A and B are shown apart, each in its own frame.
Chain A
Amino acid sequence: MSDTATAAVRLQGIVKRFPGVVANHDVEVTVRPGTVHALVGENGAGKSTLMKILYGVQKPDEGSIEIDGQTVVLATPADAIARGIGMVFQHFQLADNLSVLENVVLGAEKRHGIGDAARREIHRISAEYGFDLDPDELVETLGVGARQRVEILKVLYRGARIIILDEPTAVLVPQEVEALFANLRELKREGHTLIFISHKLDEVLAIADEITVLRRGATVATVRPADVTSHDLAELMVGSELPSPSTEESTVTDRVVLEVRDLRVEDKVGRALLSDVTLRIRAGEVVGIAGVEGNGQTELVEAVVGIRRPSTGTVQMLDADVTAWGTRRRRAAGVGYIPEDRQRHGLLLDAPLWENRVLGHQTRAPSMHGYWIDRHGAVADSKRIVAEYDVRTPGVNTTARALSGGNQQKFIVGREMSGDPVLLVASHPTRGVDVGAQAAIWDQIREARRRGLAVLLVSADLDELIGLSDSIRVILRGRLVGTFDPHTVTPQELGSAKTGAGDEAVVDEATVRR
């Protein structure tokens, strides 16, 4: 940290008054060349904004950026690329129906053309770092890990020496994370500088040479992994004591709230997205669904909420067969729904918060009075949610769009917990919210569970799944392949079940339970 003159990247006094969400201020980051530098912080701490500044997507209001000792102005990503900076986004930016080669050369045709020269270069990079990529393979045939390597290759192909990786492990299963880390070490050995954004502390400690912690937009410390524990890091991130999602004694009752039987959901051409799904949730029970994204979680949730029609099978709620019911009727009967994609499915972004209180509750008090919108009721209840769930907003007339993602999520959770639902269908209920709010949401779910709420919980956060669930079901390729007891299961076991690695043991347990 002392040899600042040769720093690969040096950010000094960066201030970004990014309206509304999180502003960066007092940011001091020095990244030494040839190291892995981790940037950690809670969701919303300003990591992404800072990296967008470094990648030229956003301009800082104050402060300076130095690359290799030279002060630079990065007005566009093209400037950043010209300076040897590359970014691997969390959400892959690949065209599925194009080959690896085509994806890589797209927009960089001038480097090595689009033909054999480019192919040779891709082969060379792939071999050098052990990427194991065939330039002519179609991207749609690649798995998540390989797609990520294509993204990294794209960046290297454009001549990047400083590579920003935005939460690269978020989409990977543990085994893939190991492979990624091997690639990253290889890159480091070849002299590349890596900036690794994450909020998974064990991973950061495993891969980083230095760690800078961001809290509420400002850098609060830069440490070496040898000097800290993950607990220390977490406290630096949060700035206070840590919550945990642990459940207390079981509150499971005998009353079955949701019973899904032999459910099969097909896509438009008749391929099964879900098959033979049988699931039962009792009052006071939380059933967690673990799985790699895209294995049928979305379809399961949508079938339970009534957005998607099953081709066979039944859904029963309390004593009623609701298979033929539409979403409105199910919601009126007491289904709370926290959707996976809050902005697309959970909010009217351009409507004020109080109108968003009505959304999904168009048949129920306090936001409705029979057929009429009860504006006063909706406003009053929105204020209650804002207060109880600590939604940071100037008022309930503010549009949902103006709030940060975490605050939007808190509002949705508050809304869906209103009116004593009997069944809560929650997809990633705490994704993107800060640790304090996460704890509050967990408390709310636990409290409601004690009062007899049945919860279908889909989450990618293993701590959340293990901490809240009474039992965990693993979903793989549209089938429920195993059942685990959250008290005894380890993240490794879940990880291998999610990828289908440990099939046998899992099937055993599943049969025992039936």
Chain B
Amino acid sequence: MNLLPRVGVGLAAPLLAIVVAGLVTSLVLIGVGDSVAEFWGVMFTVPSARLTVGIVNGASILYLSGLAAAVAFRMNLFNIGVEGQYRVATFAAAYFAGQALLPGYLNTVVTICVAMVVGAAWAGIAAILRVTRGVSEVISTIMLNAIAGGLVAYLLRELGDQQGQIRRTTTIPESSWVGGIPLIPGESSRVYGLAVLAVVAGIAFAVILNRTRFGFDLRATGRSETAAVASGVNVKRMVVSAMLLSGAVAGLIGMLDLFGNSHAYGSTIQVGVGFTGIAVALLGRNNPVGIALGALVFAFLSAQSNALGIEAGISPEIVAVTQGVIVLSVVIAYEVVRRYQVRIEQRDVARALERDRAREAGALS
């Protein structure tokens, strides 16, 4: 009986946040003198088939990025370094795959493993600093992002090939490419074949976190480190494991585009995915289904915004404001809803107590 309203309030928070973000965006538009009606007209156009595929692709990448952030968040570890881990891992993977040391899909599979290991290793630096020297992972991962950018740029110059204006790693042999999945009949653009990685990772995330001892220990540590220690969790080991896992998932982010589209690491690599993933994880409340919805919302907004400049004469950057406000308001909305739920629950407990008392009083008389 109580379940329905609770699910309701759970959904209310993100919806409320999106509405608030819409209002704020509208206010900004009015303030600048742009047309609010045209903005929403463009944003709510039914996306074309090509755009829909683009949204699904964008969402898949954001989903992996959100998962990577969420693994650490569930343990109260703030891995701000998903971006760096993703860049380093994608570069390493592209370079490795380009060497064509292995034939066909074996190359693909091993490359994906390389990406995960490199992503994990990069995150592992922050984990080791934290458990041995007590360095906050927030600081170290931010620093490591900067280092990752420099390192990859340097290695690209040293190891990459010059192709016209740009430098890129050796193109991966075609036998290792992963073809797209046709989503909409008659549409030529396709969904990344490796989007299945996102699905697999999402399911693995849910199962590991909710069903295994490791997942329980991880969540317990996130909820109360002291209680986790008393229950026998080795917190240092958990910090390392969670960071490694987070980095490994971050390593997967770049694989979709690498094997499905670009086939090399170059200056065209998508920048900022790791940071957007943090926002997506927040929006989705570190929950595998929630992150998927959050990724879709973000990908939808980004994709729809492309038409703003052409059709409404509004700079597409305004959508970044919308996305930012969504994240800000969702954090507030979740806290409001959390307090509300605690109140509902305490009221239920009080009712149960009252019932007990009434029964006891009845039994006494």
Contact = CB atoms under 8 A, between A and B. Distances in A.
Interface of A: 17, 19-21, 23, 216, 305-307, 326-332, 337, 339, 341, 344-351, 355, 358-363, 368, 371-373, 392-394, 398-399, 401-404
A124 to B, nearest CB: 44
Contact of B230 (A21, A345, A402): A345
B157 interface: no
Contacts of B227: 344-348, 359
B233 A305 contact: no
A398 B216 contact: no
Given A307-B230, A327-B229, A344-B227, A373 B216 contact: yes
| Overall SS of chain A's interface | loop
B232 A327 contact: yes
A348 B224 contact: yes
Contacts, number: 113
Given A20-B349, A373-B216, A401-B345, 15 more contacts: A19-B349, A20-B350, A327-B230, A331-B231, A344-B226, A347-B227, A348-B220, A349-B223, A349-B224, A359-B220, A363-B213, A371-B212, A373-B210, A373-B212, A392-B349
Nearest to A17: B350
16 contacts: A19-B343, A19-B346, A19-B349, A20-B347, A21-B350, A216-B357, A327-B229, A327-B230, A346-B230, A349-B223, A351-B219, A359-B220, A372-B213, A373-B210, A392-B352, A398-B345
A105 B350 CA distance: 41
Interface in B348-365: 348-353, 356-357
Contact of A362 (B210, B217, B356): B217
A290 to B, nearest CB: 23
A235 to B, nearest CB: 14
Those 3 A-B pairs whose CB atoms lie nearest each other, nearest first? A328-B232, A20-B346, A19-B346
Contact of B346 (A326, A344, A372, A402): A402
Given A345-B226, A350-B223, A403 B349 contact: yes
A216 to B, nearest CB: 7
Nearest to B352: A394
B110 to A, nearest CB: 27
A392 B353 contact: yes
A414 B230 CA distance: 17
B349 A359 contact: no
Nearest to A239: B364
Contacts of A326: 232, 234
Interface in B164-185: none
Contact of A351 (B212, B217, B223, B353): B223
A123 B211 CA distance: 63
Contacts of A331: 231-232
Contacts of B230: 305, 307, 327, 337, 339, 345-346, 360
A394 to B, nearest CB: 4
B223 A327 contact: no
Interface string B182-215: 0000000000000000000000000000111111
A360 B351 contact: no
Nearest to A371: B213
B211 A373 contact: yes
A349 B233 CA distance: 17
Nearest to B341: A399
B229 A307 contact: yes
Contact of A402 (B214, B220, B345): B345
A216 B233 CA distance: 38
Nearest to B222: A348
B212 A372 contact: yes
A21 B347 CA distance: 9
